[in-house]
Amino acid sequence: MKLIILVLFCVCCSVTSEEDERLPNKCEVCKFLSVELQGALEKTGRSKEVLEVGEVLGTGKRKRKIKYNTSETRLTEAVDNICERILQYNVHAERPGSLRYAKGASQTMTTLKNLVHKGVKVDLGLPYELWDEPSVEVSHMKKQCETMLEQYEEVVEDWYFHHQDKRLENFLCENHVLKTSEQECIKEALKGDMGNKGGGKEADGDSTEEEGTRHDAGEL
């Protein structure tokens, strides 16, 4: 048993070292910003709510009615704190490229937690209650998400009002943010049973991963 603990500890040390050296690139930041924002908008896209905007001076009466699902209000609500959702992600070091970022526990962390629950002492150099805190990589991605959203705010608005027939990750990332040589991560998708290796429960739990499909917000 001591040998098992030692091996697992070495694996975790390797993962930690890799995380220190492997910060998310621009493609990955744009990809997950797009995934989260499009996912947030899709949750409110079928609303039949009608908003009253403007006011007739001196009467208190509203001037005009607009549909919520095409309103600026819907976009503003979706964008608000959208980058905070990045903190729900974990690093799955066993996966390649952008697939290393996903919601739910990684394969290594799940194994270690199972050992702890069985009464095995596992020392990672930090308290157990901090094991689920956002990693350096994820915290960095959240900050870069905020910077990118501010920088490309007008592009996002243009997509929302005029180009929703295109996926946001294609319109924003491929057409505006990334050079052609930087777009490799956009087409990366989970295949086979790779999505089941983590063994963790999805953070949102509102959809499952399908073979060969693009990432959707509920899948990550």
C-alpha triplet 153, 173, 137: angle, nearest 5°: 90
- The domains of the chain are located at 2-45+81-219
Measured distance CA(76)–CA(153) in Å, rounded: 11
Q: Does position 204 have pLDDT exceeding 50, yes or no? A: no
pLDDT class for 45, splitting at 50, 70, 90?
A: confident
Rounded distance between C-alpha atoms, residue 166 and residue 162, angstroms: 10
Whole-prediction pTM: 0.71
Least confident of 20-24, 66-70, 158-162, 203-207: 203-207
Q: What pairs with residue 65 in β-bridges?
A: 52
Cα dist from 174 to 47, 66, 128, 177, 178, whole Å: 29, 31, 40, 6, 6
Lowest mean pLDDT among 56-65, 76-85, 171-180: 56-65
pLDDT higher than threshold 80 for residue 19: no
Task: Please state the rounded mean pLDDT for residues 109-117.
Answer: 73
What proportion of the chain, given as a percentage, has pLDDT over 90?
44
